[in-house]
Chain A
């Protein structure tokens, strides 16, 4: 298993993923520096970091995070789709299941790396704006790790779609079709908690209940994120087992 992971990593290293990972913190910096919520929030006693986190997490988690996971998934299948790479890879003494799991694990690691870089950009925004309040470490970790957990089912679906379609555009179109409605879904108290593509936002939204480990209740996390993960992961896994290459 570790050798497959290493092989996947070698293939990925030279396929221009660094600029795409850097997109996360760049977007974070852009939103953080362009939003001027401070003016609206004057007079409200609040840790300054929260103000930055409010505006940054909104756009980042609502649109950017679900969309970019699809790009990672397509990127990781790209070298196999070109000139019969699947055949060469599966001719090696590896099972299809191992290949699928290795690709999945690598994507989740990439998303994790991007989340940590995004945390860096949150910090950079605070430094540039000269915040003096203590850094809310616990809450930041909650939303960074929570956002990552919420992308797990989305990554599974995108990997499935990326294995199915040869072009980048088709899995991305599927991703867009499901991600755009979450702008409406998060406004609704009835639909929002059950919509898997709205979960990155709910998990990163710092106004939520802080007693639990994450910002959403355990039941919602287990049913929507966990259920979505099982559904999409198994779907992709069995699709790949049966796929003619």
Chain B
């Protein structure tokens, strides 16, 4: 059942721009560094001995913002595909459980998110090689900066999907997304327990792994809460 629902959901997002946005997000993050390094490469290379590390940090300064906004856009898109034509009713009328419907939507979004992370890794590597930042390429750091923010952002994905799938007015999840990006932008003043701080990989112990663990754990909890709430609601 799950496989067929996934196929259906992937069919529904065809030609709606979701794949394009998934590509554009990581490309945009690296493109901003192309502008940044294009304008003042010499200055930026002087800033640090570790050119690769500094480049990855620069890329990472935009990653959390792009992830938070991207999640808000994609979840709202997925929900409005059903909302716009009142298709929730028809979807739930099929011999599928509401729990699997929700799981399938979440899986599609998670796949898009991880595709975006993989693309981010490829684009950063590509532009880093183009910049000729040094012989030793820090593959491990590269993978960390690409996948850790996405894993740490799982609670945001779960929360946004929850809000988007239960609100009729999509202005509400979008506004929550704007709050999220403001929080992500000012994450250095946020306390460690705020989920919008986690994609920045900052915490008081200076250990990104904690954010990933917290992200996955809280993400699962928020996902279950959202799924139960979605299943209990009446479909109007």
Contact = CB atoms under 8 A, between A and B. Distances in A.
A166 B80 CA distance: 9
Interface string A34-57: 111000000000000000000000
Interface in A37-89: 59, 63-64, 67-68, 71, 74-75, 78, 81
A128 to B, nearest CB: 16
Interface residues of B, number: 35
A173 B73 contact: yes
A30 B28 CA distance: 29
A116 B181 CA distance: 23
B221 interface: no
Contacts of B28: 177, 180-181
Contacts of B185: 59, 63
Interface stretch (B31-39, B47-55, B122-130): B31-39
A78 B181 contact: no
B160 to A, nearest CB: 11
B217 interface: no
Most buried by A among B62, B73, B76, B179: B73
B182 A177 contact: no
Nearest to B86: A83
A64 B182 contact: yes
Contacts of B134: none
Interface string A173-197: 1001100110110001000000000
Interface in B131-165: none
Interface string B169-208: 1111011011101100110011000000000000000000
Contact of B190 (A34, A59, A67): A34
Contacts of A123: none
A15 interface: yes
Contact of B189 (A23, A34, A63, A74): A34
A231 interface: no
Given A34-B190, A180-B66, A71 B174 contact: yes
B199 to A, nearest CB: 15
Interface of A: 15-17, 19-20, 23, 27, 30-31, 34-36, 59, 63-64, 67-68, 71, 74-75, 78, 81, 166-170, 172-173, 176-177, 180-181, 183-184, 188
11 contacts: A15-B169, A59-B182, A59-B186, A74-B174, A75-B169, A78-B171, A167-B76, A170-B17, A173-B73, A177-B28, A184-B35
Interface of B: 17, 21, 24, 28, 32, 35-36, 39, 62, 65-66, 69, 72-74, 76-77, 80-81, 84, 169-172, 174-175, 177-179, 181-182, 185-186, 189-190
